[in-house]
Amino acid sequence: MREHDRDRAETPWHVVFAVEDVPETGEHMTLAPDAETRLAIARMAGLRELSRLEANFDLLRHGAGGLRVTGRVSATVGQNCVVTLEPVQSEIEEDIDLLYMPAATTTATDGEAAAEPKWDDPEPLIGGVVDLGALATEFLILGIDPYPRKPGAVFEPPRDQKPDAGPFAALAGLMKDRDGR
């Protein structure tokens, strides 16, 4: 299984859009998965619930075969407070601004190392399509608070019943026994 196909199989929401289907003037799309898909995304993301997920995208052709995808993912997620373990609900808003360009068709010759990708390189456009459902899911997961807290919840470590006598308490005990005091 190719890496691209494996990634698609692991993502529960797919809305595939081909670059050739985007008009020269661009395309606006509003997407929202059904309840069953939201449940699958919630399981994958480790959420208690995902009651709302919406994605708004503006697609615009870029250069020779490229695509600029801008938009916003918004969601209402349910998690458990890391302090009290009580249910917590939060809102997520994540902006998207990505450039997809066709994957390089040239390969490195013997002795040449393939160029390492840089953080600001365009995303590879594989097969001339972008999976907007997988993209929305990825940005949703990036926006999830890894340590959600209920308002006012404060972690207090357990208090010791007996104060620590310090590192020399054992020596003091030995001296006491030796001197008979």
Tell me the C-alpha to C-alpha distance, in Å, between residue 163 and each of 166, 169, 175. 9, 12, 21
Give the residue numbers spanning the domain of 97.
3-179
Say what the pLDDT of residue 6 is. Answer: 44
Determine phi and psi for 5, rounding to 5 degrees.
-65, -40
pLDDT at 179: 63
pLDDT at 48: 96
Q: Taking residues 92-115, report their average pLDDT.
A: 73
Summarised one tens digit per residue, pLDDT across range 105-145 is: 434 444 555 667 787 889 999 999 999 999 999 999 999 99
Q: Of the spans 57-61, 154-158, 159-163, which averages the highest pLDDT?
A: 57-61
Distance (Å, whole) CA 67 – CA 62: 5
How many angstroms from the chain centroid is the CA of residue 121?
19
Count of domains observed in the chain: 1
* Percent of the chain whose pLDDT exceeds 70: 83
**What string of DSSP letters covers 12-81?**
S---EEEGGGS-TT-EEEEE---HHHHHHHHHHHT-SEEEEEEEEEEEEEETTTEEEEEEEEEEEEEEE-
- Which residue matches tokens 């972008």? 130
Q: Residues for the chain: how many in total?
A: 181
Per-residue pLDDT tens over the stretch 9-40: 588 999 999 999 999 999 999 999 999 999 99
Q: Which helix (H) or strand (E) element contains residue 6?
A: helix 3-10
Q: CA angle, corner 92, sides to 86 and 95, nearest 5?
A: 160
Rounded-to-5 percentages of helix, strand, coil across the chain? 25, 35, 45
pLDDT value for 114: 60
Work out the pLDDT band at 166, boundaries 50, 70, 90: confident
Task: Give residue 181's pLDDT band: very low, low, confident or very high (50, 70, 90).
Answer: low
